Amino acid sequence: MTHLRLPLLALFSPGLFWLTGLSLLQAAEPIKIGEFASLTGKEAAFGQSSHKGTALAIEELNAAGGVLGRPLQLVFEDNQSKSGESATIVKKLISRDKVVALLGEVASSRSLEAAPLAQAAKIPMISPSSTNPKVTMVGDYIFRVCFIDPFQGTALAKFAVAHLKARRVAVLTSVSSAYSVGLSKYFHEQFLKDGGEIVADLKYSEGDKDFKAQLTAIRAAKPEAIFIPGYYTEVALIARQARDLGLDVPMFGGDGWEAPELMTIGGAAVNGCFYSTHYSSEAPVAAVQTFIKKFRAKYDNETPDAMAALGSDSAFVLVDAIKRAGSVEPAKIRDALAATKGFEGVTGRTDIDAHRNASKAAVIIEVKDGKFVFVESVAP
Amino acid sequence: MTEFLQQLINGLSLGAIYALLALGYTMVYGVLRFINFAHADVFMVGSFVGYYLGQHVPEATLWGGMLVLVAAMMTCALLGVIIERLAYRPLRGGPTLNVLITAIGVSLLLEYSGQIVFGATPRTFPQIFPERHFELGQLSITSNQLVVITVALLLIAGLQVIVFKTRMGMAMRAVSLNPRAAQLVGVNINTVISFTFALGSALAAAGGILYSMNYPSIDPLMGVMPGLKAFTAAILGGIGNIPGAALGGLILGGAETFVSGSQFSTYKDAIAFGILIVILLFRPAGLLGRFTVEKV
């Protein structure tokens, strides 16, 4: 029933306003797009950023007349950064709100929770920034608009060797996050291939607050750098405790670090640390600078981070697919998404490959005196 | 060797916090024979009181820190009394199971109203006490760790004095032994129970502040894991026994630290709790617990 009703509406509604002569946007039934995000909780900074980007994109698209003559309506729900919640709210978005497509999540574990539901209901889902390769392997309805961890892990391993000149690296992985485990694995493979040595390999779990034990063991191994493929809440605490223990070596990680909280919680401890992410607000590209200007105007002069940029790109890629499909039928949107080629967005060009991933450049950022500073760009 | 000593310090400071929390569980159990599951959430509230007050006192001063600590303890003491008055007292005399379920209810109420009032996003706890780093050869200790261990020791000693040397303590022990007989000889059990809750909740608040000083990211669900561990520590030491709770906390903190620092760090909670099961297999009443003697 879900799948029948929407296409029917799509067929009839354009005809209706020609008859009644009402303004296009007023009478048209809005196209519902579902979004699930961690708007509160441990990774709230991710969800908030991503959501702001998506909401801005939808607003912009509506101002330009929507798509297929219909306005867009973003139906969003919060999963409180908790496991289990995403499944519940995605079920609600699909069955009650009858969304035509889903946008979400940042954290790979939570995207992996929602993906099987979207796949089973045959509703296309685009993850803006989940980098674990398993996410899109769930099925042919699952897409993403960002790079994946085999690329990010490799880029970070090369960065450690070339830029940090580190041969002896300690790794601290979160065992309860799919993102962390995956990124750690791909880093290991490339770093060992490049002749590096992993001198200590320790684990923690999401929500841990005490890392002194692991860091004491790492200190004893005398590494030249510490790789922490985790999320900012834990990374900030790890950095503080590492400095407390007198560990002064640089720390580096992936896009999970990117949030203002890294600095508010981490303070001086994260100074001189590096992470890789999807875009830099310093890039002298027209698309980036226009996006920043619009974002600042809407959100109280806040500078958008990579999650916001990808949140915006995910909405634009979806709407572009709806336009090319010429229909809001989920199966047709899926086919159009799979055929996305050369879409220019804020984070660069999106080409959806056979595995429904996008291959994009990564940038390395350094935390320097309380600011995020662009270091280098790594081509895919 | 350095690594071992460093881990010992880490374990002690973590264990001291578990011990402080475990005291609250054990004291209420000693007097009322039920587990106050809301205790860990009073710990959270204490930490949030510290968060809000900490912004109004000069940062990193001794008196400012003490002021925040005492104010948080008093607020939580009041909260403990209110919880007991509204949620537990009406059920007194009924089956213990009813109070136990109510305690879980109060715990969830505090956690989720905390998410509405404070928001679910982690906050950064202000630095209320001055912080220094000490280097002893290869060992590094922060003043926060020392404060945690010292405050925990002082509070445990203070508690022993209250329970064993004061009239109120004597009344507490009397109620613990036999509430009805205590009432017959003129002990006002309502006052005694309110006092027990006030004391336990104040300790939880102190634990909350000390915990947040060491791990300065706080959120409304922060009490869940430490609460579970402190509860286990109380059982491990022999529930109802004050030195037992302290010992249990230290053992659990130590076990967790040593496993986390080893190559088995993936299994840290599994191993720490596994040790517990083994200890309880051999000493079912806990390390210092005996089936009848010395309840609070």
Q: Is A244–B262 a contact, with Cβ atoms under 8 angstroms apart?
A: no
Tokens 């076990």 identify what position?
B255
- How distant is the Cα of A175 from the closest Cα of chain B, in angstroms? 7
Burial label, A79 (beta-carbon count in 10 A; 0-12, 13-18, 19+): buried
Per-residue confidence band for B193, with pLDDT thresholds at 50, 70 and 90: very high
- How distant is the Cα of B40 from the closest Cα of chain A, in angstroms? 16
pLDDT of residue B285 exceeding 90: no
Q: Is B124–A210 a contact, with Cβ atoms under 8 angstroms apart?
A: no
Q: Is A44–B269 a contact, with Cβ atoms under 8 angstroms apart?
A: no
What residues of chain B lie within 8 A of the CB of A46, using their CB? Answer: none
Per run of 10 residues, the mean pLDDT along chain A (length 380 residues) is 46 45 60 94 91 96 93 94 93 95 94 96 96 94 95 94 94 93 95 94 90 93 96 93 92 93 90 94 89 94 93 96 94 95 91 92 92 89
Q: Is A213–B261 a contact, with Cβ atoms under 8 angstroms apart?
A: yes
What DSSP designation does A230 have?
Answer: S
What is the rounded end-to-end Cα distance, in angstroms, of chain B? 38
- Give the pLDDT confidence of B125-162 residue by residue, as tens digits: 998 888 888 888 778 888 888 888 898 889 888 988 99
Is residue A222 within 8 angstroms of chain B, CB to CB?
no
Please tell me the predicted confidence (pLDDT) of residue A2. 45
The alpha-helical segments, DSSP class H, found in chain A are: 2-20, 24-27, 44-63, 85-95, 108-121, 134-137, 149-162, 178-193, 212-220, 232-244, 261-266, 286-298, 306-325, 330-338
What residues of chain B lie within 8 A of the CB of A216, using their CB? Answer: 3, 6-7, 10, 261
Weakest mean pLDDT among A127-141, B50-64, B282-296: B282-296
Helices B167-177 and B2-32, packing angle to 10 deg? 70
Please tell me the predicted confidence (pLDDT) of residue B291. 53
Residue A136: Cβ within 10 Å count: 25
- Give the pLDDT confidence of B15-41 residue by residue, as tens digits: 999 998 999 899 888 888 888 999 999
- Check whether the bond before A60 is cis (ω within 30° of 0): no
pTM, to two decimals: 0.84
What residues of chain B lie within 8 A of the CB of A202, using their CB? Answer: 260-261, 263, 265
φ, ψ for residue A375, nearest 5 deg:
-110, -60
Nearest to A216 among B214, B222, B261 (CB): B261
**What residue type is assigned to position B252 of the chain?**
L
A362: helix, strand or coil: strand
Q: Supply the Cα-derived Rg of chain B in whole angstroms.
A: 19
What DSSP designation does B85 have?
Answer: I
What residues of chain B lie within 8 A of the CB of A209, using their CB? Answer: 211, 214-215, 217, 222
Nearest to B10 among A201, A212, A236 (CB): A212
Q: Which of A48, A74, A103 is nearest to A305 (CA)?
A: A48
**What residue type is assigned to position B109 of the chain?**
L
Please tell me the predicted confidence (pLDDT) of residue A20. 44
* CA distances to A98, A200, A245, B102, B144 from B2, in Å: 61, 17, 12, 47, 20
Q: What is the ipTM of this complex?
A: 0.83
Q: How many CB pairs under 8 A join A and B?
A: 95
Residue B204 structure tokens: 């939880």
Long-range Cβ contacts of A66-69 (<8 Å, 24+ apart): A66/A25, A66/A28, A66/A30, A66/A31, A67/A31, A67/A319, A67/A322, A67/A323, A68/A10, A68/A14, A68/A31, A68/A322, A68/A323, A68/A326, A68/A327, A68/A328, A69/A14, A69/A24, A69/A28
Nearest to A213 among B7, B216, B219 (CB): B7
Is residue B4 within 8 angstroms of chain A, CB to CB?
no
Q: Is A40–B261 a contact, with Cβ atoms under 8 angstroms apart?
A: no
Please tell me the predicted confidence (pLDDT) of residue B284. 84
Is residue A334 within 8 angstroms of chain B, CB to CB?
no
Chain B neighbours among A 148-177 (CB < 8 Å)? Answer: 175
Nearest to B120 among A80, A213, A237 (CB): A80
What residues of chain A lie within 8 A of the CB of B257, using their CB? Answer: 210, 212-213
d(CA B103, CA B93): 15
Q: Which of B159, B87, B151, B261 is nearest to A213 (CA)?
A: B261
Average pLDDT of chain B, as a whole number: 88
d(CA A325, CA A311): 21
Please tell me the predicted confidence (pLDDT) of residue A12. 47
Element (H, E) at A168: strand A168-174
CB B252 within 8 A of CB B229: yes
The CA-based angle A369-A375-A379, given to 5 degrees, is 155
Say how many CA atoms lie within 13 Å of A237 toward its Cβ. Answer: 27
Per-residue confidence band for B290, with pLDDT thresholds at 50, 70 and 90: low
Q: Is B266–A261 a contact, with Cβ atoms under 8 angstroms apart?
A: no
Chain B neighbours among A 59-88 (CB < 8 Å)? Answer: 80-81
d(CA A94, CA A103): 12
CB B209 within 8 A of CB B254: no
pLDDT of residue B72 exceeding 70: yes
d(CA A360, CA A366): 20
Is residue A247 within 8 angstroms of chain B, CB to CB?
no
d(CA A146, CA B197): 53
| DSSP string for residues in A60-74 | HHHHTT-BTTB-EEE
Mean pLDDT (whole number) for B155-176: 90
CB A137 within 8 A of CB A145: no
Q: Is B217–A236 a contact, with Cβ atoms under 8 angstroms apart?
A: yes
What residues of chain A lie within 8 A of the CB of B266, using their CB? Answer: 175, 203
Is residue B112 within 8 angstroms of chain A, CB to CB?
no
Is residue A316 within 8 angstroms of chain B, CB to CB?
no
Nearest to B121 among A41, A175, A236 (CB): A41
Is residue B3 within 8 angstroms of chain A, CB to CB?
yes
Which of A209, A238, A241, A247 to substitute to test the interface with B, most B CBs within 10 Å? A209
Burial label, A195 (beta-carbon count in 10 A; 0-12, 13-18, 19+): exposed
* CA distances to A38, A221, B215 from B121, in Å: 10, 35, 15
- Can you say how many angstroms the Cα of residue A154 is from the centroid of all Cα atoms in its chain? 18
Identify the closest residue of chain B to A246 by CA–CA distance: B140
Residue A55 structure tokens: 């909401």
